[in-house]
Amino acid sequence: MKYYPHPFLAKEGWPFIAISLFITLLIYYLGNFWITLPFILISIFIIQFFRDPKREIPLDMGAILSPADGKIICVEQSIDVYQNKEAIKVSIFMNVFNVHSNRSPVDGEVVSLQYYPGKFVNADFDKASTENERNAMIIKTTTNYKITVVQVAGLIARRILCYTGVGNLLARGERYGFIRFGSRVDLYLPLNAKILVTIGQNVKATETIVAKLDD
């Protein structure tokens, strides 16, 4: 398991946190508490948004872990357009209060990365999966299954970050990307996957087992 070298707050947020705290302290120095209060609240929001806590990694064989924090908004048989085959689609919606660090759902090799520019409609809408800006990653597991993980930008999300590349090996729970502000992650799983989540369920990246596959 490769651990991401950062403290509790994600490195993507360090500039935003530093700027917000500087502005807050400056306004407090020049003004008074009540003028500063809205800026204190904004700083607290930014700090909570970029939190990135360590997660315990389930060791269950065949487990497919949640790649993101959020709420399950879709579980259905669909077409994985990135592999051109039928699959089970599981979508996770991340609101602005969720952790936005994305983590690998399985142990495996990255065999494909495809980036698509697009729109920025509400990530809660079904059409976001095909119309929004997105980054699709196909992972070949150590048991020779292929699953697709798609980072999808949202209404106010304007930056999808992916830190891995084709040929890289990922360990389950390993941090591989980040999406700033509200967004979603789609999983496309083999048809024989046993789904363990339901629509409306809240999940946590790495800690929640979304599905299981036979070894």
Q: How far apart are CA 60 and CA 57, in angstroms?
A: 9
Kind of pairing, strands 146-153 and 108-116? Answer: unpaired
How far is residue 132's CA from residue 108's CA, in Å, rounded to a whole number? 27
Task: Show the tokens assigned to 77.
Answer: 């048989």
- Residue 183 among the catalytic residues: yes
From 43, 66, 129, 183, active-site residue: 183
Backbone region of residue 181 per phi and psi (left: phi > 0; alpha: psi in -120 to 50; beta: other values):
left
Q: Please say whether the dihedral angle defined by the alpha carbons of residues 207, 111, 116 and 87, taken in this order, is positive or negative.
A: negative
Q: Which two tokens stand for residue 96?
A: 């602005």
DSSP state of 9: B
* CB neighbour list of residue 79: distance below 8 Å, 6 or more residues apart: 85, 86, 87
Q: Which residues carry out catalysis?
A: 183
